[in-house]
């Protein structure tokens, strides 16, 4: 899915959360969105997910603007907030099943894929546990598992690396995200873990006070900044903060 | 609910923690609970209104009316005390540490019961003293010794009835909601006494003639009537109500034994702690509780894999409706609407059971209306009330598939469900409208017949009554889309800010206002039918406009908290 943001502004009261943001996201990329607290990372993701309406500018998906009633477009993307909503009174399986049916992803191969991901995330023994009884990390695994089963074209994840998942879960997420990017999916995630962003992103997008200051590959950024070792992101963010 | 047993290591740690840190939290909570109970009893707005309004009303009454009024008031008090005491046994602050300690439940019950008995005694003595003083004024001229005995007897009787009622309420869900039952009686009584002249005259006449008989139907009346007999305001035969009072007292040991044998509190406490960290509680302790909350044992990998392979988890919760109404709705829904309906509610709302209950209320309304028509022809309001109560269950007024906010766990943000997952407002409205239509059409013959008979027997005209019943059923079909839009805007904060077409938005608001008017005029025959005809297309347009506005202009589904 080709996603275009053109001069997007979003203001909350006196706070300009996004200021003239223009981005072009092509399929098959993993993009890490970085920035200090309040830089506009989550606002950007919500704009892309259609949860926020830009005050100015436009967001298009393969040339189509977002519309709440355009269910075909909405089924091609999935947004995981830092605390995903769940059907807490249901079991993991039934909660998963309902979301799959809403997305129309309950095809004949769904059971097989679900078993695969439940095993991969070590959740098979909790398949019939109430969602509300899961820990935070397990709960996020269920949400991520749902995304992997549905496999939308656009993944939007808010702080997946700080979701409470164990190292195995994080490793699995990264490997599956790379595989999905290889299949042409677009993965956009926010993070504060700079070291992970340097290694787990095709491009990085650094926001500062609502503006896009960096949108390039880590290698290009290193060349431009003149730093050859790890830590280029930290130094860029520091310089933005000091300026 | 399976019995949960905390881990022994956890128990040891908790005991050590309690030994190191005496539970100021528990003491604080206990004190706060006690302090809160008194204001809850005397600060309850309804109780205050009744207490302030009652004495001047009661003092002006004749004996029959007075006995009934005292019976109702005391019944309110007994019910309230019983409710408080039930809560005392289930929600006392000391139950928290008891949940972790290997203490037998009966020991806990005995400990709490001692406190409960003290409270009963305090409230009874206070009430008895107050009533004894009041009885001096009310029984001027009668034997003062008997008046004092009567007052003290009232205190003992109150304590006895409250205790027996509280214990019996452990076994019966109906008895745990006595306030719900006594509220409408008292409200109707007070409204009738303060309302139009003819209503007041009818009520006062009824109570003058039959007030003592009605008092005998209430447990509190078994205390009031003997007092009346001893105070010289009633025949000695009223002492016969001591017989049922004796039976009530005899039930106490039986109910005590049952309460002791079935007393359980651990699961309740642990579950409460798991769902909500108590105010000021140690977070580490709360986390330990969450860990101690053992899940029901898994059925095993093979059984789970079989279930997954059979696709049971992909079948809808709603796919096996129990009732006929639910079955009809299910058949009418498209596959997509079935999914949306499950997303909104997850389970069926027992429409058929509610319909049966409403039909019973309707069935009771008709003979009551007939009797009233024969003896009290101006009591048409009772027919309306009976019809309205039954209609609450029969018609799609409540228990609908309604939009509820989807809560993002732990984040204090909430989304309208149509934003959380790819579901459209049009789909939601369609599923809701079909369900409403089925329920309304099924209820229509019953509503028409009941309203026709009830209102007809009261002199309002059988045909007109049937028309009123018919339009009461049909109006919900007409305004359902508007209700959906209204619910959407109630969840979707700031929806008006997102729209650029003020004219279209004004139209939607106008339709919602017209819906309210339409509901009100359904009490007028034929006006309601006209309202149905006008509102049905208007509501459809309002819904289409709203969906169009959403699609074209979008809206902020999430609004973060603005800094000051």
| Tokens 């030994």 belong to residue | B19
Give me the residue from B308, B315, B342 closest to A115, CB to CB.
Answer: B308
Give me the residue from A81, A89, A139 closest to B346, CB to CB.
Answer: A89
Q: What is the pLDDT of residue B203?
A: 67
Contact B409 A13 (CB under 8 A): no
Q: What is the mean pLDDT of chain A?
A: 89
Give me the residue from A12, A66, A127 closest to B560, CB to CB.
Answer: A12
| Tokens 């107050």 belong to residue | B130
Q: How many residues does chain B have?
A: 564
CB-based burial label for B81 (10 Å; 0-12, 13-18, 19+):
buried
Contact A85 B415 (CB under 8 A): yes
Rounded to the nearest angstrom, the minimum Cα separation between A223 and chain B is: 38
- All residues of chain A having their beta carbon less than 8 Å from the beta carbon of residue B563 are 13, 15
A56-61 and A64-65 strand pairing: antiparallel
pLDDT at A204 over 70: yes
Residues 177-216 of A with CB under 8 A from B: none
- All residues of chain A having their beta carbon less than 8 Å from the beta carbon of residue B409 are 83-86, 88, 139
Largest CA distance in chain A: 56
Neighbours of B381 (CB within 10 A): 18
- All residues of chain B having their beta carbon less than 8 Å from the beta carbon of residue A102 are 339-340, 343, 421-423
- All residues of chain A having their beta carbon less than 8 Å from the beta carbon of residue B420 are 85
Q: Which residues in chain B show pLDDT less than 50?
A: 1-5, 22-46, 48, 177-181, 275-281, 286, 290-295, 409-410, 561-564
Give me the residue from A94, A102, A136 closest to B421, CB to CB.
Answer: A102
Give me the residue from A83, A90, A114 closest to B308, CB to CB.
Answer: A114
Rounded to the nearest angstrom, the minimum Cα separation between A158 and chain B is: 13
Residues 473-512 of B with CB under 8 A from A: 498
Contact B550, A68 (CB under 8 A): yes
Give the CA distances from residue B252 to residues A11, B15, B87, B259, B307, in Å, rounded to whole numbers and listed in that order: 67, 36, 18, 10, 50
Q: What is the pLDDT of residue B245?
A: 83
- All residues of chain A having their beta carbon less than 8 Å from the beta carbon of residue B307 are 93, 128
Q: What is the pLDDT of residue B563?
A: 41
Q: What are the tokens at B214?
A: 């009605």
- All residues of chain B having their beta carbon less than 8 Å from the beta carbon of residue A69 are 424-426, 547, 550-551
Neighbours of A168 (CB within 10 A): 12
pLDDT at A61 over 90: yes
Most A CBs within 10 A among B287, B288, B422, B544, hence the mutation to make, goes to B422
E-strand ranges in B401-547 read 406-408, 413-415
| Pairwise CA distance, residues B477 & B435, whole Å | 9
Give me the residue from A68, A87, A106 closest to B550, CB to CB.
Answer: A68
Rounded to the nearest angstrom, the minimum Cα separation between B416 and chain A is: 10
Three-point CA angle B81, B82, B86, nearest 5°:
115
- All residues of chain B having their beta carbon less than 8 Å from the beta carbon of residue A124 are 301, 304-305
pLDDT (tens digit per residue) in A126-137: 898 888 788 888
| Pairwise CA distance, residues A109 & B357, whole Å | 45
pTM of this prediction? 0.66
Single out the residue of B169, B133, B175 nearest to residue B154, CA to CA: B133
User: Closest-CA residue in chain A for B411?
Assistant: A83
Q: Does B412 touch chain A (CB under 8 A)?
A: no
Q: What is the pLDDT of residue B295?
A: 47
| Tokens 């003491």 belong to residue | B27
Q: Name A186's bridge partners.
A: A154
The H-or-E segment that residue A30 falls in is strand A30-35
Rounded to the nearest angstrom, the minimum Cα separation between B556 and chain A is: 4
Q: What is the pLDDT of residue B473?
A: 92
| Pairwise CA distance, residues B516 & B522, whole Å | 10
Contact B154, B77 (CB under 8 A): no
- The dihedral built from the CA positions of residue B109, B110, B112 and B117, taken in this order, carries a sign that is positive
Most A CBs within 10 A among B301, B313, B417, hence the mutation to make, goes to B313
- Chain A to chain B, count of Cβ pairs less than 8 Å apart? 129
pLDDT (tens digit per residue) in B230-248: 777 778 888 888 888 888 8
Q: Does B407 touch chain A (CB under 8 A)?
A: yes
Q: What is the 3 state secondary structure string of B240-293?
A: HHHHHHHHHHHHHHHHHHHHHHHCCCHHHHHHHHHHCCCCCCCHHHHHHHHHHC
pLDDT (tens digit per residue) in A65-114: 888 889 999 999 999 988 777 777 788 999 999 999 999 999 999 999 99
Give me the residue from B408, B421, B553 closest to A83, CB to CB.
Answer: B408
| Tokens 């000391």 belong to residue | B94
Contact B556 A74 (CB under 8 A): no
Contact B408 A85 (CB under 8 A): yes
Rounded to the nearest angstrom, the minimum Cα separation between A214 and chain B is: 26
Single out the residue of A187, A188, A196 nearest to residue A165, CA to CA: A196
Distance spanning both ends of chain B, measured CA to CA: 46
Contact B295 A68 (CB under 8 A): no
Most B CBs within 10 A among A46, A68, A111, hence the mutation to make, goes to A68
Contact A93 B551 (CB under 8 A): no
User: Closest-CA residue in chain A for B425?
Assistant: A69
Q: The sheet that has A186-190: what strands, in order across it? A: A77-80, A154-158, A186-190, A30-35, A203-208, A211-216
Residues 208-267 of B with CB under 8 A from A: none
Contact B420, B545 (CB under 8 A): no
- All residues of chain A having their beta carbon less than 8 Å from the beta carbon of residue B562 are 12-13, 15
Rounded to the nearest angstrom, the minimum Cα separation between B129 and chain A is: 50
Residues 532-551 of B with CB under 8 A from A: 547, 550-551
pLDDT cut 70: percent of chain A above it? 98
Contact A86 B563 (CB under 8 A): no
pLDDT (tens digit per residue) in A84-97: 777 777 889 999 99
A203-208 and A211-216 strand pairing: antiparallel
Q: What is the pLDDT of residue B405?
A: 67
Q: Does B301 touch chain A (CB under 8 A)?
A: yes
Rounded to the nearest angstrom, the minimum Cα separation between B287 and chain A is: 11
Single out the residue of A208, A127, A183, A193 nearest to residue A160, CA to CA: A193
Q: What is the pLDDT of residue B328?
A: 94
Most B CBs within 10 A among A38, A85, A93, A95, hence the mutation to make, goes to A85
Neighbours of B140 (CB within 10 A): 9
| Pairwise CA distance, residues B373 & B301, whole Å | 68
Give the CA distances from residue B296 to residues B276, B290, B347, in Å, rounded to whole numbers and listed in that order: 20, 14, 22
Rounded to the nearest angstrom, the minimum Cα separation between B293 and chain A is: 8
Q: What is the pLDDT of residue B175?
A: 52
Residue B227: partners with Cβ closer than 8 Å, 6 or more residues away: B135, B150, B151, B153, B154, B157
**How many whole angstroms from its chain centre is CA B309?**
42
What is chain B's percent helix, strand, coil content, to nearest 5?
A: 75, 0, 25
Q: What is the pLDDT of residue B344?
A: 87
pLDDT cut 90: percent of chain A above it? 55
Q: Does B418 touch chain A (CB under 8 A)?
A: yes
| Pairwise CA distance, residues B519 & B536, whole Å | 13
Give the CA distances from residue B116 to residues B159, B254, B261, in Å, rounded to whole numbers and listed in that order: 11, 18, 18
Neighbours of B173 (CB within 10 A): 7
Contact A67 B554 (CB under 8 A): yes
Give me the residue from B411, B419, B421 closest to A99, CB to CB.
Answer: B421
Residues 3-62 of A with CB under 8 A from B: 12-13, 15, 46, 50-53
Q: What are the tokens at A206?
A: 């650094």
Query: Residues A22-38: what's their mean pLDDT?
Result: 92
CB-based burial label for A234 (10 Å; 0-12, 13-18, 19+):
middle
Q: How many residues does chain A have?
A: 243
């Amino acid at each position: 899915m080709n996603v275009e943001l053109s001069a997007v502004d979003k203001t909350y009261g006196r706070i300009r959360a996004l200021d003239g943001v223009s981005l072009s996201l092509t399929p098959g990329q993993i993009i890490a969105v970085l920035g200090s607290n309040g830089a506009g990372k989550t606002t950007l993701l919500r704009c892309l997910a259609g949860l926020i309406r830009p005050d100015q500018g436009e967001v298009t998906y393969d040339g189509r603007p977002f519309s709440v009633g355009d269910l075909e477009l909405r089924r091609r993307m999935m947004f995981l907030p830092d605390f995903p909503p769940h059907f807490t009174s249901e079991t993991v399986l039934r909660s998963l099943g309902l979301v799959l049916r809403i997305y129309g992803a309950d095809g004949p191969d769904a059971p097989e894929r679900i078993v695969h991901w439940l095993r991969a995330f070590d959740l098979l023994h909790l398949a019939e546990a109430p969602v509300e009884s899961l820990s935070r990390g397990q709960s996020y695994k269920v949400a991520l598992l749902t995304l992997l089963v549905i496999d939308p074209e656009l993944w939007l994840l808010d702080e997946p690396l700080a979701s409470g998942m164990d190292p195995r879960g994080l490793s699995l997420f990264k490997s599956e995200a790379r595989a999905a990017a290889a299949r042409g999916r677009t993965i956009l995630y926010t993070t504060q873990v700079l070291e992970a962003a340097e290694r787990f992103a095709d491009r990085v997008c650094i926001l500062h006070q609502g503006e896009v200051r960096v949108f390039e590959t880590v290698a290009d950024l290193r060349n431009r900044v003149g730093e050859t070792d790890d830590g280029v992101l930290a130094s860029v963010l520091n310089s933005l903060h000091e300026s | 609910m399976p019995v949960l047993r905390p881990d022994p290591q956890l128990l040891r740690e908790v005991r050590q923690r309690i030994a190191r840190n005496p539970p100021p939290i528990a003491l604080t909570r206990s004190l706060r609970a006690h302090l809160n109970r008194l204001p809850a009893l005397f600060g309850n707005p309804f109780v205050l209104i009744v207490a302030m309004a009652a004495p001047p009303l009661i003092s002006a009454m004749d004996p029959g009316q007075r006995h009934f009024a005292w019976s109702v008031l005391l019944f309110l008090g007994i019910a309230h005390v019983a409710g408080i005491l039930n809560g005392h046994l289930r929600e006392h602050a000391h139950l928290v540490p008891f949940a972790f300690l290997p203490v037998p439940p009966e020991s806990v019950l005995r400990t709490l019961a001692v406190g409960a008995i003290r409270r009963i005694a305090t409230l009874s003595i206070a009430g008895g003293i107050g009533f004894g003083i009041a009885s001096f004024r009310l029984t001027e001229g009668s034997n003062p010794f008997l008046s004092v005995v009567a007052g003290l007897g009232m205190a003992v009787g109150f304590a006895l009835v409250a205790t027996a009622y509280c214990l019996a309420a452990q076994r019966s869900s109906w008895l745990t909601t006595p306030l719900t039952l006594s509220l409408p009686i008292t409200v109707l009584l007070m409204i009738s006494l303060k309302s139009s002249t003819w209503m007041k005259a009818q009520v006062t006449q009824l109570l003058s003639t039959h007030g003592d008989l009605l008092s005998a139907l209430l447990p509190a009346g078994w205390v009031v009537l003997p007092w009346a007999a001893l105070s010289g305001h009633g025949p000695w035969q009223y002492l016969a109500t001591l017989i049922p009072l004796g039976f009530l007292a005899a039930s106490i040991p039986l109910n005590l034994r049952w309460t002791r044998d079935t007393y359980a509190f651990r699961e309740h406490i642990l579950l409460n702690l798991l769902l909500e960290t108590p105010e000021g509680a140690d977070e580490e302790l709360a986390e330990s509780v969450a860990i101690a909350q053992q899940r029901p044992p898994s059925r095993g990998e093979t059984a789970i894999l079989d279930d997954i392979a059979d696709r049971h988890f992909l079948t809808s919760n709603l796919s096996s409706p129990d009732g006929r109404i639910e079955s009809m709705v299910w058949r009418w829904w498209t596959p997509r609407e079935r999914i949306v309906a499950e997303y909104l509610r997850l389970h069926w709302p027992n429409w058929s059971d509610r319909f049966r209950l409403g039909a019973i209320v309707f069935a009771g309304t008709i003979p009551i209306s007939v009797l009233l028509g024969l003896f009290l022809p101006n009591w048409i309001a009772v027919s309306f009330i009976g019809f309205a109560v039954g209609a609450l269950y029969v018609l799609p007024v409540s228990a609908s598939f309604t939009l509820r906010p989807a809560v993002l766990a732990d984040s204090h943000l909430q989304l309208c469900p149509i934003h959380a997952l790819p579901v459209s407002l049009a789909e939601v409205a369609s599923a809701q409208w079909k369900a409403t239509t089925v329920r309304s059409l099924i209820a229509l013959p019953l509503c028409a017949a009941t309203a026709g008979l009830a209102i007809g027997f009261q002199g309002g005209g059988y045909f007109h009554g049937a028309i009123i019943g018919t339009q009461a059923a049909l109006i919900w079909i007409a305004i359902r889309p508007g209700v959906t839009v209204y619910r959407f805007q109630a969840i979707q904060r700031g929806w008006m800010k997102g729209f650029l077409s003020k004219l279209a938005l004004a139209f939607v608001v106008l339709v919602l206002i017209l819906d309210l008017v339409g509901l009100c005029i359904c009490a007028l025959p034929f006006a309601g039918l006209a309202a149905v005809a006008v509102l049905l297309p208007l509501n459809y347009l309002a819904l289409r406009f709203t969906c169009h506005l959403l699609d074209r202009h979008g809206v902020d589904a999430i609004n973060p908290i603005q800094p000051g």
